[in-house]
Amino acid sequence: MESQKIIAIVGRNGSGKTKYVDQLRKDLSSSKVRYIAFCDTYGTATDRAYYLQLRWNQHDIDKETPCVGEMIQRAYDMLGDDTPERRQLLQDLISLFEFEPLLDKYTISLSSGELRKFQLIKTLLAQPGILILDNPFIGLDAQTREQLNQLLPVLVHQQHMTIYLVVARKENVPAYVDDIIWITPQDEFLAPHHHLDDARREAIRTLHQEQQATAGEVVSFHDVSIRYGERTILKDVNWTIREGECWALSGQNGSGKSTLLSLICADNPQAYACDIRLFGKQRGSGETIWDIKRRIGYVSPEMHRSYQHNIPAIQVVASGLKDTVGLYTRTNEAEREQCRWWMRIFGIDAMEQRPFLQLSSGEQRLVLLARAFVKAPQLLILDEPLHGLDSQNRQLVKDIIQTYSELPGKTLIMVTHYEEELPECFTLRKQLIKQQ
């Protein structure tokens, strides 16, 4: 095997990239090989506990739980000798990823992008000879993607390392790669994007046409601030979202986007101490969490990570009707047909009975998107919805979002770190500034 190279492994969703990498790891079996999967389903106990109430109830964290800095130090101690060169590497990595302010945080409070940086730091401390990065650029803001792009060629030459980058989109193949391994044939992978066909577009347009839009407020924040211990996550946020509006929510990794959305989705208990109105009612005025969730569809990287239920894909979609993670109640035939209808819209109807955890990460994301849309919610919250999707599926989902936004009375919020991912309906912008 030649050393000091960067090799891209590219292929569409479900093309077999993961199987190829699994075999590659067996062939390269060595203590000097490190692998990080930056998909949204990691599978460890720590990640399963990451989502929902545990993330937002940080006062319940055991005081003996190590913070980020302690975990990085443990990784440093375990992965090599304490030398001036390794100490310098540690400091360089912490500085590169701007992790100094995060060293006293718990990993459970890291944003999706910060969690990826954390994984990278720990892995790079091992100074591997071969590093396999699966979807390394997803979930990272533009600044961090640029930092990573600058770092990888440096690592190859300074650390005498071979790096494999596993990607699903041609846009994520860096110009500096030395070789490309095509899992999907090159001409198919580079083919023009496929748009939503007219039949499915028209089917969405006829959905609930009898619903008439009103000029009511869907979300209202007044001077909302969120703190965890000494750390301010959100400060004096004012934001009003009216019915029928489409908002693009942006900000650096760690700026509080997921925290803000958790206040809307009724997952964050601090909402009751804030001046927040949802669907015209003050939070804490008597409505239940389920009253709120009934009107909201939601998908996010954290939700994807929480789904460790190896149930048929249609049951995952059906859980969106019940607002649960996993499906704990039976569905009737009308509800199952409703799920099939949305699976056909997303082009995944053939996966109906396939176990969720046996799907590729991109296929799982399409299933979770169908789950978010399945009850045709009044408010649709899409937190990085195109994570891990190949170029063709990204265009399909963009078209579905755009068509859905044109229905009467539908309100949308979308988070993305890629400007080109936003459908044209997102004409309103809200940017969060990372608190120091």
Q: List pLDDT tens digits, range 86-130.
A: 999 899 889 878 899 889 887 777 776 788 788 889 988 888 889
Q: Is 94 helix (H, G, I), strand (E, B) or coil?
A: helix
Encoded tokens for 368: 């979770």
Residues 6+ apart with CB under 8 A from 215: 242, 243
Q: Pick the residue with more confidence: 293 or 8?
A: 8
Q: Pick the residue with more confidence: 228 or 393?
A: 393
pLDDT of amino acid 427: 96
Decide if pLDDT at 46 tops 50. no
pLDDT of amino acid 63: 62
pTM for the predicted model, two decimal places: 0.83
Q: For residue 141, which phi and psi values (nearest 5 degrees)?
A: -70, 170
pLDDT digits (tens, 9 = 90+) for 9-41: 999 999 999 899 999 999 987 778 999 887 654
Decide if pLDDT at 308 tops 80. no
Task: Determine the average pLDDT of the residues in 121-150.
Answer: 86
pLDDT digits (tens, 9 = 90+) for 156-167: 887 788 999 999
Looking up tokens 């993670």 gives: 325
Amino acid letter at 4? Q
CA–CA separation, 320 and 426 (whole Å): 24
Strand ranges (DSSP E) for 22-151? 33-37, 130-134
Looking up tokens 């003050």 gives: 282
> In a 10 Å sphere around its CB, with 0-12 CB exposed, 13-18 middle and 19+ buried, how is residue 98 labelled?
middle
Q: For residue 337, which phi and psi values (nearest 5 degrees)?
A: -65, -35
The answer to whether 261 touches 234, Cβ cutoff 8 Å, is no
Encoded tokens for 143: 């600044």
Looking at domain 198-431, does it have CATH number 3.40.50.700? no
CA–CA separation, 29 and 23 (whole Å): 10
What percent of the chain is modeled with pLDDT above 70? 89
Looking up tokens 């650029």 gives: 137
Closest CA to 115 of 174, 173, 62, 55: 55
pLDDT of amino acid 49: 38
Instruction: Kindly indicate the confidence band of residue 348, based on its pLDDT and cuts at 50, 70 and 90.
Output: very high
Instruction: Kindly indicate the confidence band of residue 214, based on its pLDDT and cuts at 50, 70 and 90.
Output: low
pLDDT of amino acid 327: 57
Q: Pick the residue with more confidence: 410 or 211?
A: 410
Residues 6+ apart with CB under 8 A from 378: 218, 243, 279, 295, 296, 409, 410, 411
CA–CA separation, 410 and 400 (whole Å): 13
**Range(s) of the chain covered by CATH 3.40.50.300:** 6-189, 198-431
In DSSP terms, 182 is beta-bridged to 10
**Least confident piece of the model among 4-18, 95-109, 211-225, 344-358:** 211-225
Domain 6-189 adopts which CATH fold? Rossmann fold (3.40.50)
Q: Where are the alpha helices (DSSP H) in 265-328?
A: 289-293, 301-306, 313-322
